Amino acid sequence: MMPIGPLMIEHRLTDRMIALLKKESRGMEEGRVDILLIEAAVGFFTTYVDMCHHGKEEEILFKGLAGRGISPEHRSIMNELIEEHERAREIVSGLDRAKDKYAQGSAGALAEMREKMMEMTGLYPAHIGKEDARFFIPSMSYFSKVEQSAMLSEMREFDRQLIHKVYRDVVERFEKRKAE
């Protein structure tokens, strides 16, 4: 299996969450909101999409490509993808803030949450389409079969370590808070 296999599988799960958010956004037009879905979506995009998926892209695939003579087209696409990752982080952070405002009874928070969800549901399908159709498969031509296999192993190890990092960070954050 090429190392992009896990990344493509992660795209399919992200597509499913995007579909849920599109449906939720339509319900918000009528004033309904499933705050548990919004909380779950923030966690999903923060941990699964950003830390796990984007983490593998940025820390393994993109770094592996950085030192190679990739075409100007692929370099341009890679830079666009990195910018889109940054934009996605901003949107998710904004959704999280809007969710908190909504929970505190803020009047405009529902519209703000819906706006952030619409931004996400607009960004991700195009972003995923670009990676699937124009970047992932062509990018593998820059690596030998041995390098691809090593990259796949590195991605598996990245996944294995991620849960430990996430919860180590949680504990450390609260240790710092309690020490103050």
pLDDT at 1: 55
Does 117 have pLDDT greater than 70?
Answer: yes
Rounded Cα distance between 161 and 130, Å, is 28
pLDDT at 54: 97
pLDDT digits (tens, 9 = 90+) for 73-113: 999 999 999 999 999 999 999 999 999 999 999 989 999 99
Q: Answer for the pair 127, 54: CB distance below 8 angstroms, yes or no.
A: no
pLDDT digits (tens, 9 = 90+) for 29-76: 888 899 999 999 999 999 999 999 999 999 999 999 998 999 999 999
User: Cβ of 91: how many Cβ atoms within 10 Å?
Assistant: 20
Q: Answer for the pair 3, 61: CB distance below 8 angstroms, yes or no.
A: yes
3-state secondary structure 148-175: HHHHHHHHHHHHHHHHHHHHHHHHHHHH
- The dihedral region occupied by 32, where left means phi > 0, alpha psi between -120 and 50, and beta the remainder, is beta
pLDDT digits (tens, 9 = 90+) for 124-142: 999 999 999 999 999 999 9
Domains of the chain: 4-179 (1.20.120.520)
Which two three-digit tokens encode residue 48?
A: 């699964």
What's the angle, vertex CA 58, arms to CA 152 and CA 84, rounded to 5?
130
Q: Answer for the pair 92, 42: CB distance below 8 angstroms, yes or no.
A: yes
Kindly indicate the confidence band of residue 160, based on its pLDDT and cuts at 50, 70 and 90: very high
pLDDT at 29: 86
Higher pLDDT, 91 or 178: 91
Mean pLDDT value across residues 115-119:
96
Does 170 have pLDDT greater than 80?
Answer: yes
In one letter, which amino acid is 117? M
Q: What does pTM read for this prediction?
A: 0.90
CA trace torsion 76, 81, 87, 88 (10° rounding): 170
C-alpha torsion sign, points 47, 14, 122, 41: negative
